[in-house]
Chain A
């Protein structure tokens, strides 16, 4: 049996997951002996029925220390693999338990491909680690990689020492969400240590940054025409509206503008009022306004007599972009806002390649504010 979609009523655990209306709940699959995983996977494909193709473009490992994450992440993987064929390695670690113990399961996520009626399947290997997690982890990951494919490691919640270089030297891209970090500086410090360990080969992929992609795109397009470039040098005011818990997202957005436009922090007046200074000595007054809504739900940028505005449209998944000059409004345009759920953010991130140097520049610009 390849697929295990089990119809179930959504329990409390799944509420956070933004599941489709008629969601299927995927189980962890068949339990397997750790030493027999490859053989059992082969058997899985050999015994499968119907026209199915196994596909894989990468190894996508997800690591969490949260209880119940194995089930939750399996549901996420089922949706992620619809668009990103991979070998999924889902790991839940319970490091507080005394005795070392590892359990494993194998399963597959099959979807009808975008062309024809062929089923395209991604393998998933699930692990429940108990006890000496940091010792077990590198070996668990490294011994179950699909060869010659890149390794993306999605680390949920916080990193903690010791970070084992044995694992990190094999990771191509580490995915994390800095939005939930309690101590940004110590976390980024750990990642930078790993980057140095890997001679800068490790690419840092922050979902908190990915969350800003569509907003950045929407704001950037105002300045595509050379005739509008001079407006960038005349920016005097910036207002960012963000939801509670997403201050770091708003700060990263600010960091992006600062780094790209060569602004520096001039004065931190309060937690919601700052002043930047541009290379031309132009001051930019920044207001950070916290209110309920989308993570970053409005950006208002003033340059001379023109106001550029990007705001979430009422329907939620679209952005309204508006340019007003001397109080004369142009017809607003709609652009995609992207998804803020984990599947949407990871899918967006997996579409990308190359280093995130724009992110690193943004980070450096506002490091002291995070």
Chain B
């Protein structure tokens, strides 16, 4: 990706050593340092980067949270969780060195004095650890805490830096719950930080296969002429999981599958599939093209929403042969809950390339298997030659997780004297072809934030445009009159029948995963 304005002149000794922007020394201040995300994802990711030699030596982690803890207590807690969640075994000698750069700062999020003390501490760290005044603030706290944190960062002038250094803020989703709240959040963040300082993290974009979509499309000339309405019949995007709501009921009850998954992850994947080639690989060039896709999404009337969006909720059933509860019986879920755990949509992108190509998306909990895949279904070959209508079409499948890879279904003649044609699959598996495991999404994204590369982070307009698409659906669902039905489906099935009907009316069917 290209160098941005706040990135340094290249180091001549780096030539040929790294094909990515170099991360800069900095203090990473994690708000919500005692929470799950810090323990399960962020610190294990930073440890893995250190163990792989990708983390600059002068990086310091400062945990900011309310609980009373010493630096040593915090290090011990993190060591325990990193040993549990790291993708590679923790080596004592590396951890001991890494842990020397971890500190704990106790403060309430709304306590001004806590931020003044933080300033002093960070300045001291700059002197002792060579972090050079660079600060990366990671908001891993609940969204309700964003405003006090951001206001106090600004009040303490932590949003500003001296010449040659930088301050950036990483925000975890949800980026609002609707357009109005997203705008408000963006306003609040924007009051403290400029857009180029803001990194909205969507961990789906840090996955190797998501990044590979751009390579597949723009580094392989064979796909380019086919990637449009003339050759593509329809597109399917599925994000299925076997898990239920688990311990997230409190959040999920207010969000639902549409807000939790479609507004961010699925729309981001759709953008990568549908965008035009960017002029270059800079963050803004890519995001300019992505946002055009979201803007082009066909906006439905209330009656069209009922016809094109199906929502469902799981009832009791079985997963992997084990009986599981229905959603309404889960802990902390309202027994009369109308929250959707499944959504299927048929949408259209109103632009030249994608006119009349339906894009079917489905996302759900308690489905038979966990898989996130994108499939491009090509149009049928003319039937005249083989004197038969080939029932299967060419399908290009991009598997995001698990078993990342790409496959292409083509037709082949079955050996024999008769002329029988059957579909066969050409299959590429990342795990088979490349022995080296991919880094975790958070590793890549943290490095990018440290090097100022915002390509894999969502921009303000992308987020707001996505909400502008989602809001009418939520409004229709929550209308007092004529709200579309919430369909029930048994856990372990592929969702309500209405989701199948959504495709069947166009003569299509969901891919068998």
Please, which residue of chain A has its CB at the minimum distance from the CB of B9? Answer: A226
Is A6 in contact with chain B by the CB < 8 A criterion? no
User: Bound complex: CA of A261 vs CA of B11, how far in Å?
Assistant: 10
Nearest CB on A from B13, distance (A): 4
Chosen A-B contacts, 10 in total, with CB atoms closer than 8 Å, are: A83-B436, A115-B431, A116-B403, A217-B53, A219-B13, A226-B8, A227-B164, A332-B97, A333-B57, A358-B15
Told that A53-B429, A336-B52 touch, could you supply 15 new A-B pairs with CB distance under 8 A?
A: A55-B432, A83-B434, A83-B435, A115-B431, A116-B431, A120-B431, A217-B53, A220-B17, A223-B12, A225-B8, A225-B132, A232-B13, A331-B100, A331-B129, A332-B97
Report B1-37 residues with CB < 8 Å from chain A CB.
Answer: 8-9, 11-18, 22, 24-25
User: Bound complex: CA of A127 vs CA of B11, how far in Å?
Assistant: 46
Is A144 in contact with chain B by the CB < 8 A criterion? no
Interface hub of A218, A229, A257 (most chain B Cβ within 10 A): A229
B93 contacts A229, CB within 8 Å?
A: no
A224 contacts B432, CB within 8 Å?
A: no
User: Bound complex: CA of A85 vs CA of B432, how far in Å?
Assistant: 8
Cβ–Cβ < 8 Å partners of B371 in chain A: none
Is A272 in contact with chain B by the CB < 8 A criterion? no
Report A28-72 residues with CB < 8 Å from chain B CB.
Answer: 53, 55, 57
User: Bound complex: CA of A13 vs CA of B481, how far in Å?
Assistant: 83
Report if A318-B94 is in contact (Cβ < 8 Å); known contacts: A53-B429, A335-B53: yes
User: Bound complex: CA of A232 vs CA of B430, how far in Å?
Assistant: 41
Is B51 in contact with chain A by the CB < 8 A criterion? yes
Task: Encode contact with B along A112-124: 1 for CB under 8 Å, 0 otherwise.
Answer: 0111101010000
Nearest CB on B from A278, distance (A): 12
User: Bound complex: CA of A318 vs CA of B50, how far in Å?
Assistant: 12
Is B225 in contact with chain A by the CB < 8 A criterion? no
Report if A224-B11 is in contact (Cβ < 8 Å); known contacts: A53-B432, A214-B53, A323-B130: yes
Cβ–Cβ < 8 Å partners of A261 in chain B: 12-13
B432 contacts A220, CB within 8 Å?
A: no
Is A269 in contact with chain B by the CB < 8 A criterion? no
B97 contacts A331, CB within 8 Å?
A: yes
User: Bound complex: CA of A356 vs CA of B11, how far in Å?
Assistant: 18
Which A residues fall within an 8 A CB radius of B?
Answer: 53, 55, 57, 82-85, 111, 113-116, 118, 120, 213-214, 216-221, 223-227, 229, 232, 257, 260-261, 313, 315, 318, 321, 323, 330-336, 351, 356-359
User: Bound complex: CA of A332 vs CA of B403, how far in Å?
Assistant: 39
A223 contacts B97, CB within 8 Å?
A: no
Report B421-441 residues with CB < 8 Å from chain A CB.
Answer: 429-437
B97 contacts A217, CB within 8 Å?
A: no
Cβ–Cβ < 8 Å partners of B93 in chain A: 313, 315, 318, 334
Cβ–Cβ < 8 Å partners of A357 in chain B: 16
Residue from B12, B57, B132, B432 in contact with A120 in the complex, judged by beta carbons closer than 8 Å: B432
Cβ–Cβ < 8 Å partners of B100 in chain A: 331
Please, which residue of chain A has its CB at the minimum distance from the CB of B100? Answer: A331
Is B402 in contact with chain A by the CB < 8 A criterion? yes
User: Bound complex: CA of A357 vs CA of B17, how far in Å?
Assistant: 12
Is B114 in contact with chain A by the CB < 8 A criterion? no
